[in-house]
A = this chain, B = another copy of it.
Amino acid sequence: MTNRKGQITDKTRIAAVIGGGVIGGGWAARFLLNGWKVHIFDSDSDAAPKIIDVLQNARASLPLLADTALPEEGQLVFCDTLEQAASGAHWIQESVPERLLIKKKVFAALQNAADRNAIIASSTSGFTPTQLREGASHPDQIIVAHPYNPVYLLPVVELVGGADNPYIKRAATLLAALGMKPVILRAEIDAHIGDRLLEAVWREALWLVRDGIATTQDIDQIITHGFGLRWAQMGLFETYRMAGGEAGMRHFLAQFGPALAWPWTKLMDVPDLDDALIDKIVSQSDKQSGHLSIQQLEQIRDRNLVGFLQVLKYHHWAAGQALKDWDDQRPYKAGNFAAQAPFCQHTARVLPSWIDYNGHMTEFRYLQVMSEASDILLATVGLDEAYVETGHSVYTVETHIRHLAEATLGEQIIISTQIISADEKRVHLWHACVTDKGKEVATGEQMWLHVDMKAGCTTPFKPPLKENIAALAVAHAHLPLPVGAGRSIGGR
């Protein structure tokens, strides 16, 4: 069983995204999938398709990182003017091109149009707040919130603009509620922190390619098969602390420190990015990755990121902790139970990764969406974390799936659940999966047992499951027995 339905929606909150593109689109996705209404303004009228693409990728990945269901997706509004977009917004995110004059113009217009309490944040990777605020009517309102691509999956945001600035403090709280990890810089500096580190690596890598020491692929393999795997979970300092052994960081510094004086890196110089070097990099990169489109690379990247983040979340470590904290913002609140007959609270959209080589939704995804429907039903009758912590839970012991038709990419599946019978510790139930066009694609008959997990045996339901399941069974008693129930494989 998988997710739990959340109750918190943020429909009243508005985020304005100024400047589309990959970064603006990523921000829009973060806010929309967290239930915010999003106003988008881009002076380029062709911006919409890119934003829609980013949103598609985000919908296919971010929800996989939530253990409690996300709120209903917010409304996306394309605005004709910057002023329309800013109107009523609580958060305004500027992601226009990296030209200081353009950005300052945008900020001037935003400060005129926006609420004084709105946070006006820049995605700039290079400029400092001091540069951005020059001549501003209310300097503190303008801050830097620099994310990393893909914005809808990577949690980190560099917040710059004064650790004591109330806008920064509110921004940090708000970003955490989007599943992000704000890191507040203690002082401003050109290009903040992450891009300075990346820039250092980039320069050195260019030298290595230029001098024929390695190809782009060699360098990438050394990163991905080596320290990249380290850095997805522990940074530079924590890794080196370990290298010092139990003697700790001071021992490491004593050992490694002298290396700094050695004439290793070429970092003192900037390589000349002339046509010859550009051609070399482009042809090596084509050889390395040219067999995959950018869209394919993005999907591979997101699939891997989701996998890594799930690993980290499972262990409550590094980026996984931010996701745990995010879940805690959407607690399951039991008690809104209504004896709906049949019980129908879950719909699912067929995702690209669900399609098999026959071109249809693959078989185990049917069980996945039924399992999600089960979890919502169980959460509704009171199976929350506190209940599981008492050592009791509900296990599926048997499932009989019948495939009646094919669901295809993008179709929406509505799952409705009928209690066929229930006693003090068992539930016999039926899931029907029907597309939004009314096509019945699959049914699932299941037997659940209520178990004492420690003792490893069945035991009667405890309150509130006891009363709520009984009430649901009564409410479903008048429903006809589903056609196909009680059959064995091959049976008629």
Q: Indicate how many identical chains form the complex.
A: 2
The answer to whether B308 and A232 have CB atoms under 8 Å apart is yes
Contact with B along A193-224 (1 / 0, CB 8 A): 11111111111111010011111111111111
Interface residues of A in 291-315 (CB under 8 A from B): 293-295, 297-298, 300-301, 303-305, 307-315
A126 within 8 A of B: yes
User: What chain B residues lie within 8 Å of A297 (beta carbons)?
Assistant: 234, 238, 241-242
Instruction: Judge whether B226 and A156 touch: CB under 8 Å.
Output: yes
In residues 135-171 of chain A, which contact B (Cβ within 8 Å)?
Answer: 148-149, 154-156, 158
Docked CA distance A174–B255 (Å) = 32
Q: Decide if A411 is an interface residue (CB 8 Å cutoff).
A: no
A245 contact from B193, B195, B294, B447, Cβ within 8 A: B294
Q: Which residue of B lies closest to A191 (CB)?
A: B264
- Of B230, B242, B395, which one neighbours A403 at CB under 8 angstroms? B395
Are A225 and B489 in contact, with the CB atoms below 8 A?
A: no
Contact between B220 and A352 (Cβ–Cβ < 8 Å)? Answer: no
A48 proximal to B (CB < 8 A): no
Residues of B within 8 A of A271 (CB): 260
Q: Could you tell me the distance between the alpha carbons of A205 and B189 in the complex, rounded to whole angstroms?
A: 13
Given contacts A205-B197, A428-B489, contact A237 B220 (CB under 8 A): yes
Q: Which residue of B lies closest to A290 (CB)?
A: B248
Determine if A78 is an interface residue (Cβ-Cβ < 8 Å). no
Q: Are A232 and B224 in contact (CB under 8 A)?
A: yes
Q: Quick check: B315 and A490 within 8 Å, CB to CB?
A: no
A285 partner, pick from B187, B241, B310, B489, beta carbons under 8 A = B241
Q: How far is the CA of A317 from the CA of B301 in the complex (A)?
A: 10
- Would you call A187 and B213 a contact (CB within 8 A)? yes
How many whole Å from A116's CB to the nearest CB in chain B? 30
Contact B293 A250 (CB under 8 A): no
Pair A358/B199 contact, Cβ less than 8 Å:
no
Contact, CB under 8 Å: A232 / B234: no
CA distance A228 to B193 in the complex (A): 13
Q: Which of A156, A211, A311 has the most CB of B within 10 A?
A: A311
A475 contacts partner chain B, Cβ-Cβ < 8 Å: no
Q: Which of A5-13, A100-108, A363-371, A462-470 contacts B (4 or more CB under 8 A)?
A: A363-371
- Shortest beta-carbon distance from A284 to chain B in Å: 8
State whether A231 touches B234 (Cβ < 8 A): no
A99 to B224, CA, bound (A): 29
Q: Mark A323-360, 1 if CB is under 8 A from B, else 0.
A: 00000000000000000000000000001110111100
Extra contacts, 6 of them, besides A233-B301, A242-B298, A304-B318 (Cβ < 8 A), are A2-B364, A154-B226, A186-B213, A197-B201, A224-B235, A241-B289
- Listed A/B pairs (6) with beta-carbon separation below 8 Å: A1-B363, A154-B225, A186-B212, A200-B203, A200-B265, A313-B352
Across the A-B interface, the 7 shortest Cβ-Cβ residue pairs? A220-B235, A228-B231, A307-B311, A156-B225, A267-B267, A314-B352, A310-B353
